[in-house]
Amino acid sequence: MPALLLEDTLPLPKRVHSRPIVGRSERAVIPFTVASALNPANMAGLCILAIAMLVCTGCGSQQSPPSADSGTSQAADAVKSPSAARRTDLEHPLVRIETDLGAITLKLDAASAPGTVRNFLNYVSDGFYNDTTFHYVAPGSMILGGGYTVDGRAKPPKFPPIRNEADNGRKNLRGTVAMARDAAVIDSATSQFFINLSDAPQRDYAGEAPDQYGYCVFGEVIEGLDVADRIAELPTRDLGGDLAQSPQPPVAINSIRVVL
């Protein structure tokens, strides 16, 4: 099998693509979830809907001003659902990875990698990453996760491979998060991602050939990079294939969720 990362001797995930790889000029059909709000084509419609709702609300307030009781009720609702009052930054959403060794908070970059962030958030909203693991670690290099369960079973991806946006100008620097892919196929990333623990220019975009195209950076760690370092330094066992350097005991990714 070819290497997963350009200059790392990592095994490739065993994949059987049930759907064709998305071409570089195409886009995967993504369900309209929280993640799909990042799609500029949807944002115009959302803005029009928001304006219409504001106009309707204004009209209603002129006809019957809210009472003190209704105001109290609205405040109570806000307390019950604090998330309703929060607004997610559509260009730089924050997500938290909860692991057995602590939390890692990522700031995603939809401005530079909109398709990649949308894909990652679709997996997050689906709960795909819950009870998975960082199945391959290399101290001072990277930790790789998003493709295996804690008990070592491969987890097939739920969505088609995406366009590689490694040509977005972002570099694989320490603390960045990037998508793993088949080194022989440019547009083959699905669910697996890795956190760089050192600067890795060999993973950056350098040309149009598959072995030059690099790995798309779509965010960075803003809290918990020390947790990632600790995960990478755990004892490992060679369990074969993709699990050639797998932490033992395994480190669970308990959940990944959007926090802002």
Please, which residues bridge with residue 143 across strands?
Answer: 137, 195
Identify whether 13 is part of a domain. no
pLDDT at site 109: 98
Identify whether 187 is part of a domain. yes
pLDDT at site 176: 98
One pLDDT digit (tens) per residue for the chain, 260 residues: 333 443 343 333 333 333 333 334 333 333 434 444 455 444 444 444 444 444 444 444 444 433 334 443 343 343 344 443 356 688 999 999 999 999 999 999 999 999 999 999 999 999 999 999 999 999 999 999 999 999 999 999 999 999 999 999 999 999 999 999 999 999 999 999 999 999 999 999 999 999 999 999 999 999 999 999 999 999 999 998 889 999 999 999 999 999 98
pLDDT at site 221: 98
Q: In which domain, by residue range, is 46 found? A: 35-85
Tell me the CA distances in angstroms from 94 to 22, 62, 88, 149, 173, one per residue in order.
27, 38, 8, 24, 19
Q: Let me know whether 73 and 135 are in one domain.
A: no
Q: Let me know whether 48 and 145 are in one domain.
A: no
Q: Which of 27, 28, 4, 9 is nearest to 159 (CA)?
A: 28
Could you tell me if 167 and 213 are in contact, meaning their C-beta atoms sit under 8 angstroms apart? yes
- Supply the CATH number for residue 202's domain: 2.40.100.10
Q: Let me know whether 120 and 70 are in one domain.
A: no
Q: What distance in Å separates the CA atoms of residue 118 and residue 160, rounded to the nearest whole number? A: 13
Q: Give me the number of domains the chain comprises.
A: 2
**Strand runs labelled E in 43-122:** 94-99, 102-108
**Strand runs labelled E in 80-216:** 94-99, 102-108, 132-138, 142-149, 176-179, 193-196
Could you tell me if 173 and 47 are in contact, meaning their C-beta atoms sit under 8 angstroms apart? no
**Phi and psi dihedrals of 80, rounded to 5?**
-65, -35
Q: What distance in Å separates the CA atoms of residue 166 and residue 216, rounded to the nearest whole number? A: 4
For the full predicted model, state whether its pTM sits above 0.85.
Answer: no
- What is the dihedral angle through the alpha carbons of 109, 114, 120, 123, rounded to the nearest 10 degrees? 140
Compute the Cα dihedral for 217, 223, 229, 232 and give only its sign: negative
Q: Let me know whether 105 and 176 are in one domain.
A: yes
pLDDT at site 241: 86
Q: What distance in Å separates the CA atoms of residue 21 and residue 9, rounded to the nearest whole number? A: 24
Q: Let me know whether 246 and 158 are in one domain.
A: yes
Could you tell me if 134 and 242 are in contact, meaning their C-beta atoms sit under 8 angstroms apart? no
Please, which residues bridge with residue 99 across strands?
Answer: 102, 253
pLDDT at site 260: 83
H or E element, residue 71: helix 68-80
pLDDT at site 87: 65
Identify whether 154 is part of a domain. yes
pLDDT at site 13: 37
Q: What distance in Å separates the CA atoms of residue 244 and residue 137, rounded to the nearest whole number? A: 9
